[in-house]
Amino acid sequence: ASERNPIVIVGSGLAGYSLVRELRKHNADAPILLVTADDGISYSKPMLSNGFGKGKDANGLAQASQHSMAEQFDLQLIPHTRVTALNPQAHQVLLGDHWQSYSKLVLAWGAEVVPLHLAGSGSSSVYSINDLNDYRAFRAALTGAERVAIMGAGLIGCEFANDLLLGGYQVEVIAPSATVMPTLMPEQAACALQNELEALGVTFHLETQVDRIEQVPAGVDGGVILALTNGRQLQADVVISAVGLRPRTELAQQAGLVVNRGIVVNRALETSAPDVYALGDCAEVDGQLLLYVMPLMASARALAKTLSGERSEVLYPAMPVMIKTPCCPAAVNPPPLGAEGYWQVEQDGNHVKALFNNPEGKLLGFALTGRFAMEKQALSRQLPALHN
């Protein structure tokens, strides 16, 4: 009986929809039910930090409605519905008060924003932007605003800083690290990127954090005051939290699935429960947590084959990430966590080519800024695959 039940996919982000696309290439007939907590609009999440640069608001970033996705890929699509429990033994998921049976279950429910517990009357006016609806609310909040404070100087914080500058806003970035993107770039490359963002007009407050956010009393200037741990105070109309994302693991853990930093899956994207798979930002694939688009596309291709009867393992090639800061093009491919080696840096002003080599001189990672960013493809070809 279970084979007549649909393949249930949870989540309509790039992971869920990439899988649907790939699945239909192999299997035109399998019943697919896609459940999603949001409205099911198809969009490319990386574009959220590029809206002003591309001249697009939230509606402009939407690529296809849930109806056209359902029609094009012959899906039963249930939007605005959250899965609240899994029962892997019974092959069922809980949707509202209804237990839905599945033949195979795919968890593609992404990552959530790391919550910040800030003190102060203004802490509720902080925006985090992790989907199209968040972006819509954020763009509405920007109407009439001039000053934006961004907490976090990682990839997303830096991209928003550049984009908001292009949108005509004053931008201040606050982060505890000594440099921008500390997990992705060595110091020289990070400083080059920071210099270019500063030249464009961004003000950085590094090695400090926001302690509390207070609403400015009505009738004064409006907005909020951010009190930093270094004693400084900043004013802003809108505050963004870009302090990081973490895989959604709670429901999987409650259902007894093995969970580590993400939902643990092997290279066939199989969780510890039979017929339950995970991919995208929620999945820790063979020990690796990669919250980027290229890994989820590779995973979707492999999983589509598996779900169509040909068990396949994902192979991750080197997957460089472009940083979307038009003021300073940058590309990174960080070395594996804990890899032994050293950075070798060639620099011409804010053009930096930093190569991470192991003691035998083999290239394991890189960070490129300015004109060197163009070398990312050539350098990627020299990198080992992530899964050998």
CB of 98 to ligand FAD, least distance (A): 13
CB of 384 to ligand FAD, least distance (A): 20
Residue 212 makes contact with ligand FAD by CB under 6 A: no
CA angle, 348 then 353 then 354, to 5°: 125
Q: What is the dihedral of CA 3, 9, 10, 13, to 10 degrees?
A: 180
Residue 82 makes contact with ligand FAD by CB under 6 A: yes
Residue 32 makes contact with ligand FAD by CB under 6 A: no
Residue 273 makes contact with ligand FAD by CB under 6 A: no
Identified binder of ligand FAD from the candidate list 291, 298, 355, 364, rule CB under 6 A: 291
Identified binder of ligand FAD from the candidate list 9, 234, 296, 303, rule CB under 6 A: 296
Q: Closest Cα partner for 331 from 179, 185, 162, 163?
A: 185
Residue 156 makes contact with ligand FAD by CB under 6 A: yes
Q: Based on CB atoms, which residue is closest to ligand FAD, 113 or 191?
A: 113
- Per-residue binding letters, 302-341, with ligand FAD (x by CB under 6 A): -------------------x--x-----------------
Long-range contacts of 246-251 (CB under 8 A, 24+ apart): 246/111, 246/112, 246/114, 247/110, 247/111, 247/281, 247/282, 247/283, 247/284, 247/289, 247/291, 248/109, 248/110, 248/111, 248/112, 248/282, 249/282, 251/83, 251/84, 251/85, 251/86, 251/109
Q: Based on CB atoms, which residue is closest to ligand FAD, 104 or 248?
A: 248
Q: Cα separation of 306 and 265, whole Å?
A: 14
Residue 46 makes contact with ligand FAD by CB under 6 A: yes
Residue 15 makes contact with ligand FAD by CB under 6 A: yes
Helix ranges (H only) for the chain are: 14-26, 51-54, 58-61, 66-72, 132-142, 155-166, 187-200, 250-254, 293-307, 376-382
CB of 281 to ligand FAD, least distance (A): 4
Per DSSP, the three-state class of 163 is helix
Q: Which region, judged by CB under 6 A, interacts with ligand FAD, from 8-16, 145-153, 308-316, 363-371?
A: 8-16
CB of 232 to ligand FAD, least distance (A): 27
Which residue, chain included where needed, has tokens 């990669």?
290
Residue 66 makes contact with ligand FAD by CB under 6 A: no
Q: Which region, judged by CB under 6 A, interacts with ligand FAD, from 9-17, 220-228, 254-262, 364-372?
A: 9-17
Q: Which region, judged by CB under 6 A, interacts with ligand FAD, from 65-73, 183-191, 266-274, 293-301?
A: 293-301
CB of 11 to ligand FAD, least distance (A): 3
CB of 335 to ligand FAD, least distance (A): 18
Which residue, chain included where needed, has tokens 């959250």?
82
Q: Cα separation of 184 and 334, whole Å?
A: 6
Identified binder of ligand FAD from the candidate list 7, 19, 20, 35, rule CB under 6 A: 35
Residue 109 makes contact with ligand FAD by CB under 6 A: yes
Beta bridge partners of 170: 147
Q: Which region, judged by CB under 6 A, interacts with ligand FAD, from 46-54, 66-74, 211-219, 359-367?
A: 46-54
CB-based burial, 299-308: b 16+ in 10 Å, e otherwise:
bbbbbbbbbb
Site for ligand FAD in 231-260 (CB under 6 A): 248
CA angle, 162 then 244 then 227, to 5°: 75
Count Cβ atoms below 10 Å from residue 223 Cβ, excluding itself: 20
Per DSSP, the three-state class of 216 is coil
Q: Closest Cα partner for 200 from 149, 229, 158, 246?
A: 158
Tell me how many residues contact ligand FAD (CB under 6 A): 33
Contacts to ligand FAD by CB under 6 A: 10-16, 35-38, 45-46, 48-49, 82-83, 108-110, 129-130, 156, 248, 280-281, 291-294, 296, 321, 324
